[in-house]
Each structure stands twice: as C-alpha cells, then as structure tokens.
Structure 1
C-alpha cells in the first residue's frame, strides 16, 4: 500500500500504471511527471515510464492490508483505458470484491468505455466510481457515469479549467473540486467553484474542495471563503 497525500483518500493501489492524453485536463498530467521521475530513479514498476503497463504481481496487494482503508485505484493510470485488457480489469474487480473490508475509489476520463463495460462487471457496494469533468465540454461523462450500476458515484472536477454551468447531480453522491497544481498550472476562478458548491448544496450532494492549486499549492491552501469543505459519502457496508 502506498500512503498518499491526496486529501480525499487514504492510500493508492496501482495494478496498472501509465496512460495517454485524451482531453484538456491531461495536458499537465501529474502522474506522467511522477512516472518519469520514478523511471529515472530505477523503480521496477516504472521501467516503461508512462507507457500503459499491467502489474499482475500487484493484483493481490489489498489482501496484505488488514486495516480498512479508503483506496484510490490506479492513481497512476486509468482503469478504463482503451488498451487495458478487459480480463485484467475483471481481475482488479475480483480483488475489490474479495478484499471487501476496504473502500475502493475508481476514477476515469474514459466514460464511454466505462459505460460499455459496466454491465459486464460485478459491482459491490465498496466500489465507488467517478469520472473527471474538467470543463463544461466534458459533462457528457456524467451521463455515462449515471448509467453504471455503481452504488456510490462521484465527480472529480479537477483540474477545473472553466465554468461548468448547470449540473444535473441526480444519482451523483459526491463532487470534488480542485485547481491545477505544478509549474505550468492553469488558473481557476473562485466564481466557478462557488457556483459548483451552491449547486451541490441545493441538490444535496456532498461537496469536497481539494485545493486552489497553482505553483505552490500549500501556500494557496484549500479554504473556500474561509471554510474547509470536506464532505464525503459514508462508506456503504457490503
């Protein structure tokens, strides 16, 4: 298990690593920067850099972690990447079913493939499914997510690159908002965040503000109008 500083989870598990860019939010991918750094450091799991790679030896890792954890699955990849073999995806789901004392958080930008495969996979209550929506252009991903059998559904509006506009949060349990961080980060406007927060409150959807981002995300912090927003769904028992 890799402990993580990501504010909305506790640990990460990466049976897949590597990805490819498909939309505007991918431009300054943090996972790509990290993967190339780990490759340069000689890490075995990153010998292929940021090329999509399956790690069968990692599939059973959650069984080694006896304390229940909130686990972000494939923080360094996208489980529904078009080149990820379906049988390998099924193997990841099998582990999540069997090591069921954990709660697993999955996140994808490839909502089309998620929609295509969702009914062919076995969903347990401890498997949360989310999609990234970085601007209004990608709101169709929410509709694809809504059609999946996942018990808990969430949105990651990060990096938020523009106003989202009207949100239909029917069937959506949780919304995470965050600005882009890193040396080439693109700015996020407070008005965009406040609009999303107000829509979440009006539609009774949990709201989580992760960060303002920027070149120094510690300095910009994560308070919105003086308040820290850490709302989350309650893990559902098996």
Structure 2
C-alpha cells in the first residue's frame, strides 16, 4: 500500500535516478532511497545500494539505476485489481534502463489487464521513441509469451506478431510538468506517444501553467457567464451564418432555451471543444468519410464542421463520439500538488486554482493531491513597510495565534508585497518578527497570504473542496 492519494500500490522493479529539471531539486525519493539502502533486511538494502551519495550540496543521486528482476512478476500475484504507480523510486525511461527491461515491465502489464498501471516520466523523448517503435512492441509480445501464466488472461492474441490492443488499455502514460517551460517541452511528446490514457503530474507546481493548448475549453464561455438572450451573444467571425442560425433557432427563447442551455448541453453530452480542429464524420449513416474542420456544437451529439478553404461549401454535418472529444482534448487527467519536506518551495494558490479552472472548463478530471508544506492563510495582515510591526487589533492578534496553534503552523503569517499609488506595501510574515517577502522562494507579485503549515495540516482542500478526479475513458 501507499500514502499517495492517486494510486493504490507502488511497484519498483528499478531504483535510482538523477536530476533533469527543477522539479527534481527536492526529490523525496532520494532520501527514501538513502534510508532503504541502510535497511537491515539485505534484499531491501541491496535494491537501493549505490543509488545515492552525500555531496557538498547535500544528498543526491549517483545516476546508478539498479534493475531488480525478482520484482518484475510481483503484479502477477496481486489478485485484487488495483491502480499501480510504476517506478516511484526511479524513472522507467531512464537512460540506464535497457529497452529489454522496459519491455519486460510492459509484458507484465499486458498479462495483468485487471490492474491499471500509471507510468510517470520526465524522460519524454525516450518514452515517445520506444512506444512508437514496432520492434519494441514485438519485444513486449515476446516477453509476454515467456512470462505467460495460464491463470492470467492476456490482452493480446498469441498467434499475431502484434498486440490486438496496442497501446495497452490498462497503461496510463504521464509526464511531469512543474512549470510552463516543461509543459511546453514534455506535453507535445506525450501527445505523440500512443497511450490509452494520457495524464500530467503538475507536482511540485513551481510556476503558473497554461494547459489550454492541450485541454481546450468545451464551451466558448462558462454556462454561468452566458447571456440570457442571443441578442447579447457574439459569435467568432469564423462561424458561418447558416451555422449560427441553426444553433440560435434550436436554442431560441421561443423554445424556452438560451445560450446557457446550449453551453450546458455541450458539457452534458461530452462534446468536443468549441473551435477545435478535428477529423470527424462527414454526414451520418454507416462508414461516412472523414473530413477536417473546426467543431461547432449543435445539440446532443450533433455538430457542424466549419471547413477551411472549401469553395463548394462552408460546413459539414457531423456527429461525435467520446473518442472525438479525447482527440480534441489530448490530456485525460491532471494531478496537481505542492512540495513538502525541508526547504519546500511554496505553491502560489492561484497557480493551483488556474489549473483547476482549466480542468473544469475542459471537463478533464483533476486530482489535487496536496498543498505541500505551504498552504493558504485564512486572512490578510498588511503593514506599510518592512520595519513596521503588528498593526492589527488585539483581538485579531489573539485570533491569529489561536488559529496558527490549532493547525500547527510553523509561521503565523507569510506574504508578499503589492504596489499602491507608487508605494510598495508588505504583508506581515511572522508576528513579533521582521516581515519577510516570499520573493525569496520565487513567487510573483500579487501573492496571497500563505503559511508553512506542514503537509498534513495544510491538507488537500482547494477552496473548501477535495478534488479526487480520475480518468473515466481511454482513447479509441
């Protein structure tokens, strides 16, 4: 079992790693590996031997990766279905892991379709290269034959040279995204990788991330922001007049409907994103031809494809399935979390909220794992300059102390500065001490008050709600 909220079990057929990006800087696995290397049980100690080292800068990986063959078949003996995080103490696509060993890991996944495997990597390029390689797929098939146990139903046809279901439907592939730079680098590679479910882990989230390029909103505006009348609605210029008329007539006030009803229908039906460029059915009936266009929702599972550069017609009639929606979206699941442990870097609450809002707009399930060591403070205390002390009332001071003690905060207040009328103002950091700006941990101006609670006290609620989303469907 594991304390990771988005999985049931960890499976580590390989251990050891090295750092490749800022998200690795305070990797929990380094300390865990160091502790386990000193475990009195010889097999545990051997599994982690040589993977860590003490340097002038502190504890670090050595770059050595240990391959633990005897752990490969562990999932074959788990009878109860479970979600399995693969290589939580390493990276399956690390350069020191041979492709043959990776093929063995995938063979075990193929032999255990009752389990769901979650593979998370920062080595996006190698993942893309291997899983697009037919030779690697055949290698997985060979090892699946060798490992096959008659008690386990395979998800492949032994008489074929290739899997009948590839990518494996029970293998979710994800990339770590700690800031926009690494989102822009890793997510395109993930989308180029065959996968039944694609996900991202924005943990630790170290900066604002815009995912809308890969998770476009289902509707042009939220239903709550839609006007009551079409007279107050503004269509994008690329939507043809005939398409506008058809939508407005069906969702007209005469029918007891409105733009808000139209938008809600998009979300209820699981429509592709408004304006997404897709290859979809041209018309209805059996085996309609495919055509490329920009999607506009009509009603239920019916839409219009706006054609670009077609002299004969402006749009086509089409219908959609969940597979069309997935292709428009790209990302099936998002995990968000802040960093914990000594020296943890703080996550701006608005960064988490922005990702949440993007997920809600795109109908992508969100799993908010944790705030980490830092979390939002429930109120703001402002001071006029760094050398000015507490300026609240005695009652506010008592309430601040009581709240802090009740939740175990190690600091009463933290904050940042803001500009007003050309003057810089500060939010108080710690009662009885000189105020301190969170610029030290790289947070931007406009930071709202946060505190160093500790991971358990900070909790998992985002604006009063626990987000425990999981993907529901796989790509076709």
Counterparts of 1:105-120 in structure 2, within 5 Å, are 105-120=118-133
Partner residue, 1:146: 191
TM-score normalized with structure 1 length: 0.95
| Structure 1 match to 2:364 | 205
Question: C-alpha displacement at 1:12, in angstroms?
Answer: 0.5
Which residue of structure 1 lines up, in the alignment, with residue 26 of structure 2? 28
Give the corresponding residue for 1:124. Answer: 168
> Higher Cα Rg: structure 1 or 2?
2
Q: Given the two structures, how large is their TM-score scaled by the length of structure 2? A: 0.48
In structure 1, distance between residues paired with 2:172 and 2:109? 11
- The answer to whether 1:164 aligns with 2:209 is yes
The equivalent of 1:232 in structure 2 is 470
Structure 2 counterpart of 1:221: 459
1:176 CA drift (Å): 0.3
Q: Which residue in the other structure is 2:200 paired with?
A: 155
Q: Can you list the C-alpha shifts for 1:39-76, whole angstroms capped at 9, x where unaligned? A: 12242311233431111111111011111110000010
Q: CA deviation at 1:109?
A: 0.6
Task: Give unpaired runs (5+ residues) of structure 1.
Answer: none
- Give the equivalent residue in structure 1 for 2:48: 46
CA RMSD of aligned residues (A): 1.5
**Which 5+ residue runs of structure 2 have no aligned equivalent?**
53-63, 138-166, 216-328, 374-451
Match of 2:71 in 1: 58
**Contact 1:103–1:235 (CA under 8 A) maintained in structure 2:** no
Aligned residues: 235
User: Contact between 1:126 and 1:235, CA under 8 Å: does it hold in 2?
Assistant: no
SS in 2 for 1:199: helix
CA distance in 2, matches of 1:82, 1:58: 20
Once the two structures are TM-superposed, the CA of residue 167 in structure 1 deviates from its matched residue by 3.1
- Tell me what 1:95 maps to: 108
Q: Secondary structure at the match of 1:106?
A: strand
Q: Distance in 2 between matches of 1:130 and 1:212?
A: 21
Deviation at 1:79, TM superposition (A): 0.5
Secondary structure of 1:21's aligned partner:
coil
Counterpart check, 1:173 vs 2:218:
no
User: What's the CA shift string for 1:147-201, capped at 9, x where partnerless?
Assistant: 1110100000000001113532221100000000111110001100111111111
Contact 1:136–1:163 (CA<8 Å) still a contact in 2?
yes
